[in-house]
C-alpha cells in the first residue's frame, strides 16, 4: 500500500537506567513532548498505537499497557492499540498508524514506543529476551551456539549476545573482517553518540579503548554489543491535509513503511525477510540506495551493522568492511549511519527503538540535529528488526522518510 503520511512532531526521553521512573512516565513524557512539537492538543489525537515488548515480564503490566500509560496523561476514549513485535514493536506501531492515516481512517494518530527493562533482578530482564525465539527448540539451539563459550548465557548476559558472537565469527571467516573492524563500528557510533544528549553513553571511545574492554562472547567486547535501556519515544502522524492545516514547515513524509515476517526458504536462498523488505521499501518510496542521505539501522552488535550495510545495498556484496574503512558511514562521509549513536551508544529500550530512529531521522531532515547534523539531508531510512527464527530475524521493518 502506498504510504501518504506526515510526521508532525516527535518526542523522546533520555535513554538509560531509570529505576526512579515508571512505565507510565517513560511512555507519557515523550507523548507530551511530541504533542507540543506538533503544535496540537491531546484532544486532537484520533487513535494511538503503542509498541512495547517486555512490560508483562519486567513490570507485570499486561494486556492494557497503552491504556494505562496514556490515561495517566489524560488521553482516553480513542482507540488504543497495543502492539508487541519483538525489537520492531515501535516500528510496527508506526507502520500501523501510517497505514490507517494513509487509508483515510484518521487524520491524527499517535505512535508510542516504550520499555522499562532494568530490574533489580537481572534474571527478570534476561527472561524478557529469552522468549524472542521459538521456545520449543530454544534449549537445543542455545546448546549449539554457546558451545565453547563461557557459561552464563541468559544469566549474566543476554542470550542474543551469543547469536552475535556466532555472526561475528562467521563474518570473519567469510569476509576476512577482524575484531578491529568491529571496534571501528563501535568507535564510530560512540563519536556520533557523544553529540546526542539523549544517548545512554556519551563518551567517545577509540578503537583501542573498545578492544581493551572485557570480551563478552568471542570475539566481541562489551562496547560491541548494544546495552539494554529504559526509555520512550513518540511521534504524531498526520495526513497531508492535516499537515497543511497545521502549517507544518519542512514536513517529513513517511514514503515507505514495510513490514514482513520470517518465512521458510531453502538454505542459501537469496530472498529472505530482510531482502524482501528492503527491495519493497525502495520500490514503494521511489528511491535507490544512492538517494539516501542518512541511515539509522539496528546495530544490536557491531557485526550486525556491517551485515546491514550489505543488506541495505549501501555497498556492493563483500564490500561492507571497505565502506567502513573509507569513512563513508561516519558523519561527513557519503552515507552517515547511526548519527544518533545507534543502539550501541544510544541504548536499546526494545519497544522504543523504532520511534527513536524516526525521531533522529526527523531531526536530521528538519535541520534540528545540532552538532551531529548532516548537511542537506533529505532522504533517510530506518532498519529495525527483532526476534529470531532459524537463525534469521523474525520480524523486519524498513521505513523511508523524505523532506
Tell me if 317 is assigned to some domain.
yes
Sign, CA torsion 105/256/236/7 = negative
| Cα–Cα distance measured from residue 55 to residue 251, given in angstroms and rounded to the nearest whole number | 33
Please report how the helices 159-175 and 138-145 are oriented relative to each other, as an axis angle in degrees rounded to 10: 50
Local confidence band at 271 (pLDDT 50, 70, 90 cut-offs): confident
Tell me if 202 is assigned to some domain.
no
* Residue 360 grid coordinates: 533522529
Instruction: Outline where 87-158 has alpha helix (H).
Output: 89-102, 122-130, 138-145
Which residue did the predictor score with more confidence, 158 or 167? 167
pLDDT reading at 1 higher than 80: no
Tell me if 43 is assigned to some domain.
yes
pLDDT given at position 2 = 78
pLDDT given at position 149 = 87
pLDDT reading at 148 higher than 90: no
pLDDT reading at 344 higher than 80: yes
Q: Domain count of the chain?
A: 1
pLDDT given at position 20 = 96
Average of pLDDT values for 167-192?
Answer: 97
Task: Name the average pLDDT for the chain.
Answer: 96
| Cα–Cα distance measured from residue 290 to residue 23, given in angstroms and rounded to the nearest whole number | 40
pLDDT reading at 80 higher than 80: yes
368 upstream amide cis, omega within 30 of 0? no
Tell me if 140 is assigned to some domain.
no
Q: Does an H or E element contain 11, and which?
A: strand 5-12
Q: What residues act catalytically?
A: 87, 348
- In the chain, pLDDT over 70 holds for what percent of residues? 100
| Cα–Cα distance measured from residue 392 to residue 115, given in angstroms and rounded to the nearest whole number | 24
pLDDT reading at 318 higher than 80: yes
Angstrom distances, CA of residue 166 to CA of 23, 118, 369: 34, 26, 35
Tell me if 214 is assigned to some domain.
no
Q: Which DSSP string do the residues of 291-329 spell out, in sequence order?
A: G-SEEE---SBHHHHHHHHHHTTSS-TT-HHHHHHTTTT
pLDDT given at position 147 = 87
Tell me if 126 is assigned to some domain.
no
Domain range spanning residue 363? 5-120+228-402
CATH number at residue 321: 3.40.47.10
Tell me if 65 is assigned to some domain.
yes
pLDDT digits (tens, 9 = 90+) for 31-44: 999 999 999 999 99
| Cα–Cα distance measured from residue 100 to residue 3, given in angstroms and rounded to the nearest whole number | 9
pLDDT given at position 158 = 87
**Of 85-89, 123-127, 312-316, the least confident:** 123-127
Tell me if 179 is assigned to some domain.
no
| Cα–Cα distance measured from residue 168 to residue 32, given in angstroms and rounded to the nearest whole number | 41
* Residue 166 grid coordinates: 556466532
- In the chain, pLDDT over 90 holds for what percent of residues? 90
Q: What share of the chain is helix, strand, coil (3-state, %, to 5)?
A: 40, 20, 40
pLDDT given at position 54 = 96
Amino acid at each position: 500500500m502506498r504510504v501518504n503520511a506526515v510526521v508532525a512532531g516527535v518526542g523522546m526521553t533520555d535513554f538509560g537506567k531509570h529505576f526512579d521512573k515508571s512505565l507510565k512516565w517513560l511512555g507519557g513524557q515523550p507523548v507530551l513532548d511530541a504533542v507540543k512539537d506538533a503544535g496540537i492538543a491531546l484532544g486532537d489525537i484520533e487513535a494511538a498505537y503503542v509498541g512495547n515488548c517486555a512490560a508483562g515480564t519486567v513490570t507485570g503490566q499486561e494486556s492494557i499497557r497503552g491504556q494505562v500509560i496514556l490515561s495517566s496523561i489524560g488521553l482516553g476514549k480513542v482507540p488504543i492499540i497495543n502492539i508487541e513485535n519483538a525489537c520492531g514493536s515501535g516500528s510496527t506501531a508506526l507502520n500501523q498508524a501510517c497505514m490507517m492515516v494513509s487509508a483515510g481512517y484518521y487524520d491524527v494518530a499517535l505512535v508510542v514506543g516504550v520499555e522499562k527493562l532494568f530490574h533489580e533482578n537481572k534474571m527478570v530482564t534476561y527472561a524478557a529476551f529469552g522468549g524472542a525465539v521459538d521456545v520449543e527448540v530454544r534449549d537445543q539451539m542455545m546448546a549449539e551456539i554457546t558451545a565453547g563459550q563461557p557459561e552464563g548465557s541468559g544469566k549474566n548476559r543476554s542470550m542474543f549476545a551469543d547469536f552475535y558472537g556466532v555472526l561475528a565469527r562467521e563474518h570473519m571467516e567469510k569476509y576476512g573482517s577482524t575484531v578491529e573492524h568491529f571496534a571501528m563500528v563501535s568507535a564510530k557510533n560512540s563519536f556520533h553518540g557523544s553529540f546526542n544528549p539523549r544517548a545512554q553513553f556519551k563518551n567517545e571511545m577509540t578503537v583501542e579503548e573498545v578492544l581493551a574492554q572485557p570480551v563478552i562472547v568471542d570475539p566481541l567486547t562489551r562496547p560491541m554489543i548494544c546495552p539494554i535501556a529504559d526509555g520512550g519515544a513518540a511521534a504524531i502522524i498526520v495526513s497531508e491535509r492535516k499537515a497543511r492545516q497545521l502549517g507544518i514547515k519542512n514536513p517529513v513524509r513517511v514514503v515507505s513503511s514495510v513490514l514482513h515476517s520470517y518465512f521458510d526458504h531453502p538454505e542459501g536462498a537469496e530472498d529472505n525477510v530482510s531482502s524482501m523488505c528492503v527491495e519493497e521499501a525502495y520500490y514503494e518510496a521511489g528511491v535507490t540506495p544512492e538517494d539516501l542521505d542518512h541511515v539509522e539501522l539496528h546495530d544490536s552488535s557491531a557485526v550486525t551493522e556491517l551485515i546491514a550495510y550489505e543488506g541495505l545495498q549501501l555497498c556492493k556484496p563483500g564490500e561492507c568492511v571497505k565502506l567502513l574503512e573509507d569513512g563513508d558511514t561516519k558523519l561527513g562521509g557519503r552515507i552517515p549511519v547511526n548519527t544518533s549513536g545507534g543502539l550501541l551508544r544510544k541504548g536499546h529500550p526494545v519497544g522504543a527503538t523504532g520511534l527513536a530512529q524516526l525521531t533522529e531521522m526527523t531531526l536530521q531532515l528538519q535541520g534540528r540535529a545540532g552538532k551531529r547534523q548532516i548537511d542537506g539531508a533529505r532522504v533517510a531510512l530506518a532498519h529495525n528488526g527483532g526476534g529470531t527464527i532459524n537463525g534469521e530475524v523474525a520480524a523486519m521493518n524498513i521505513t523511508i522518510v523524505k523532506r
